[in-house]
Chain A
């Protein structure tokens, strides 16, 4: 099979990887890039567990053909915070009890981040809309929505400083 070199800016750093034409962006991330934080829940773009941010937009990486990510800016759960400085969403997901099994969490956080990056003052409805493509079977979504609201507040406070 013909192979090609995929170049992208992954979590702020340029990377190059050899890919096969059938590969999805998720295959590349979870494959030899070793970024297993992005999960595969269905492989058909129906559950959102594989959500990453591509050029500022939340996408289901399991249905993005890898070549489509050529020269794109990709953000994954591994790139948004550190133990010393968590992203506000990571902070509030922990604080609010928005994490149960944790399998939807990375995708959920990335969908929420894509929203908050554009709109740090979302309504509850806008939050629901933003994560409507992310299935969580554990939490009933209530604490997830609370966590996103609280993260929005944190981000606003940080900006005011």
Chain B
């Protein structure tokens, strides 16, 4: 392969200048002529029937131009997540919600919405809507919601009481035989909290409806094409008459808008249709907390059979997750939890059973890691318990058992590459692992070191369908335009895809223009999720650029009177590989073609394979035994990401993931009171890390060769927090000898545990 000209380099990010200057446009910045402001009335009860709703007074308030509720909006069921777009038969998508319903199922559920000439008037109007509720019994814990006496949130479910979708079952080998062969068996149950994405831009959408019924929605979605499908279906419109796009920037995502931006889009469209004017809906931060998907809380049980020498003979897992009031991604998340949890270590006999359970809490959906951090907190905590019992070093037991390329696992694609051993070794060196066990144990500040490892995916298949398309069009001046439907939520997608385009075409990076995240000007593309954009969207871009390149070379061959196979493009010049004297600037080739009525238009269409990224996280902590305070001194994250197209972007993804992982480990949690109200519905009550909470973070990039991608890329977006929490929990155990089976490990929990 040629030495890369653009990939692997930290080129200037395409979105950075606008963002640094404050001129980048986000959905919340959009203003259109005549635009109205939408506000939403939300349920104060966790479960209730709406006996009567009277919107008359609100409609009469001057400045109010539309009021919508279940009585005057489509009775079409949907799922706010993109899942319904990808669920492949025989599985059926769970479509369990309306824009507005006559039953509310959690505190924050949508009751009605108003559009008015100002936000203030819209808020006043909400107070004039009269609603009579009949309270229904509510349930908040997934285990209780499966009990026979618990209320049914959505009527009978075919998989079991309050279970959305299917139960997931994965199996490899013979689990009974595996446990029979074991010298020791370990079984532990772990409890996981509700974490919030807390992306900086709240859920938002601006909808415009033309007189002839065409709909345009600018929104914060991570998946414009799937979102268009949901919106078109709700309102009964041809997909071709609905345009969904980012404007083009999104203030973060972390999974919270894979599909709709909560319900911002359909509410804005419903209001715009009634008012016949554009409507903007921006969630307040409190709405974003209470009425927008969270990470799944729940319970994970791991049972492991092991030989005295540390070889695993059997591993059985069970995951029971809290779906909240509507399904969203709750049918898929338990599958990823099990599959990722079982795919880190080679073990001949494995079994997983998992599912979600409806409760009267905020819906849980996708959040960075998608079930994997839940799995790995359990597994990696238990691996340390096993290692200690058997008297084996935590690194040794891991290195002995980790998955190797070619090993059998529960996933339907092969494990083709692994840099995990290198990650463990490099990470251990960077954290100075040999100090473990040699810290002073006499004072009130106790130090400890811990490790956690894991894997993830590089796209969404086999958990749901996955494919990508892209166009690359050569312009008459020899520059190239890429059209890809995938958003850039800050992950550097546009930059890396432009790098890939430039690399394939031999055109300067500066000459690549990109249109992204717009259903009207890009072919179907799933969007930004599942750590897939560089891997899967990147593959489509490679295919499109190769197609365009072939057309260029075929044309240039005629022009230069040589064989096309002898030509290549370097530095914006078509050049003969056998005789460098034979060459023509690409601008010349493009304009000649133009004058003869030709343009080079490359189309890329791919169905991706999948590939495992690998990671090893190391934490050094200091626990104050007088206060229970845990201070993280340093974190090292060594990641096999395949080829790093833009190493600085990769590091940024890892740092950001680590910070969220630190929050997950030590502080972030949404709790509910006995009335189903969130106790942590804003930034001052929800303890996410600020700059002062973040220690030195060291990201180490390992580039194992991955054959399933033309440039050897693997996923990286989510991996940064897969094993952060167990690395920290294991370090805390190493420091004070207390094992925590529940996150987050707050100072209060540490203090109580030390007192006992």
Indicate if the CB atoms of B285 and A37 lie closer than 8 Å: no
Sorting the interface of chain B by its residue count into under 10, 10 to 19, 20 to 34 or 35 or more gives 35 or more
Indicate if the CB atoms of A36 and B29 lie closer than 8 Å: yes
Indicate if the CB atoms of A135 and B200 lie closer than 8 Å: yes
Complexed CA–CA distance, A109 and B252 (Å): 18
Q: B659 contacts the other chain (Cβ, under 8 Å)?
A: yes
15 pairs from A and B in contact (CB 8 Å cutoff) = A39-B28, A39-B251, A47-B200, A81-B21, A93-B16, A97-B649, A100-B252, A102-B251, A103-B249, A131-B690, A137-B200, A137-B659, A138-B490, A140-B694, A143-B655
Closest 6 CB pairs of A and B: A37-B22, A101-B490, A102-B19, A103-B251, A140-B655, A77-B22
Chain A stretch 88-134: residues in CB contact (< 8 A) with chain B: 90, 93-94, 97, 99-106, 109, 127-129, 131-134
Indicate if the CB atoms of B652 and A100 lie closer than 8 Å: yes
Q: B15 contacts the other chain (Cβ, under 8 Å)?
A: yes
Q: Contact flags (1/0) for B651-662 with A, using CB distance below 8 Å?
A: 110011111100
* Chain B residues, CB < 8 A from A135: 198, 200, 683, 688, 690
* Chain A residues, CB < 8 A from B19: 99, 102, 105
Q: A61 contacts the other chain (Cβ, under 8 Å)?
A: no
Q: Which of A39, A42, A94 contacts B12 (CB 8 A)?
A: A94
Q: B697 contacts the other chain (Cβ, under 8 Å)?
A: yes
Q: A2 contacts the other chain (Cβ, under 8 Å)?
A: no
Q: B91 contacts the other chain (Cβ, under 8 Å)?
A: no
Complexed CA–CA distance, A139 and B658 (Å): 9
Q: How far is the CB of A25 from chain B (nearest CB, A)?
A: 16
Q: B684 contacts the other chain (Cβ, under 8 Å)?
A: yes
* Chain B residues, CB < 8 A from A136: 200, 691
Q: Which of A37, A131, A137 contacts B21 (CB 8 A)?
A: A37
Complexed CA–CA distance, A34 and B690 (Å): 29
Given contacts A100-B490, A102-B251, A138-B652, contact A44 B682 (CB under 8 A): yes
Indicate if the CB atoms of A49 and B691 lie closer than 8 Å: no
Given contacts A46-B682, A103-B251, A144-B691, contact A41 B16 (CB under 8 A): no
Indicate if the CB atoms of A37 and B23 lie closer than 8 Å: yes
Indicate if the CB atoms of A139 and B656 lie closer than 8 Å: yes
Chain B stretch 27-62: residues in CB contact (< 8 A) with chain A: 28-29
Indicate if the CB atoms of B16 and A78 lie closer than 8 Å: no
Q: How far is the CB of B481 from chain A (nearest CB, A)?
A: 22
Complexed CA–CA distance, A37 and B29 (Å): 8
Q: How far is the CB of B664 from chain A (nearest CB, A)?
A: 13
Chain A stretch 21-45: residues in CB contact (< 8 A) with chain B: 22, 35-44
Q: Known A-B contacts: A101-B251, A141-B690, A142-B655. Give 12 more (CB < 8 A).
A: A39-B251, A46-B683, A86-B21, A94-B12, A94-B13, A99-B13, A102-B20, A103-B26, A103-B249, A127-B691, A134-B690, A140-B657
Q: How far is the CB of B140 from chain A (nearest CB, A)?
A: 26
Q: B559 contacts the other chain (Cβ, under 8 Å)?
A: no
Indicate if the CB atoms of B692 and A128 lie closer than 8 Å: yes
The interface residues of chain A, by DSSP majority, are classed as loop
The count of residues in chain A whose C-beta lies closer than 8 Å to any C-beta of chain B is 51
Indicate if the CB atoms of B20 and A140 lie closer than 8 Å: no
Indicate if the CB atoms of A78 and B652 lie closer than 8 Å: no
Chain B stretch 248-292: residues in CB contact (< 8 A) with chain A: 249-254, 284-285
* Chain B residues, CB < 8 A from A109: 20
Q: How far is the CB of A36 from chain B (nearest CB, A)?
A: 4
Q: Hey, which bits of chain A sit against chain B, CB under 8 A?
A: 22, 35-44, 46-47, 49, 76-78, 81, 83, 86, 90, 93-94, 97, 99-106, 109, 127-129, 131-145
Indicate if the CB atoms of B652 and A39 lie closer than 8 Å: no
Complexed CA–CA distance, A99 and B490 (Å): 8
Indicate if the CB atoms of A137 and B254 lie closer than 8 Å: yes
Q: How far is the CB of A55 from chain B (nearest CB, A)?
A: 20
Q: Which of A97, A106, A141 contacts B694 (CB 8 A)?
A: A141
Given contacts A40-B28, A139-B656, A140-B658, contact A99 B285 (CB under 8 A): no
Given contacts A132-B692, A140-B697, A143-B655, contact A97 B12 (CB under 8 A): no
Complexed CA–CA distance, A17 and B242 (Å): 39
Complexed CA–CA distance, A102 and B200 (Å): 9
Q: Contact flags (1/0) for B633-671 with A, using CB distance below 8 Å?
A: 000000000000000110110011111100000000000
Indicate if the CB atoms of A102 and B490 lie closer than 8 Å: yes
Indicate if the CB atoms of B20 and A97 lie closer than 8 Å: no
Indicate if the CB atoms of A42 and B655 lie closer than 8 Å: no
* Chain B residues, CB < 8 A from A37: 21-23
Complexed CA–CA distance, A137 and B660 (Å): 8
Q: How far is the CB of B722 from chain A (nearest CB, A)?
A: 15
Complexed CA–CA distance, A84 and B595 (Å): 37
* Chain B residues, CB < 8 A from A22: 120
Complexed CA–CA distance, A128 and B690 (Å): 8
Q: How far is the CB of A76 from chain B (nearest CB, A)?
A: 7
Indicate if the CB atoms of B284 and A141 lie closer than 8 Å: no
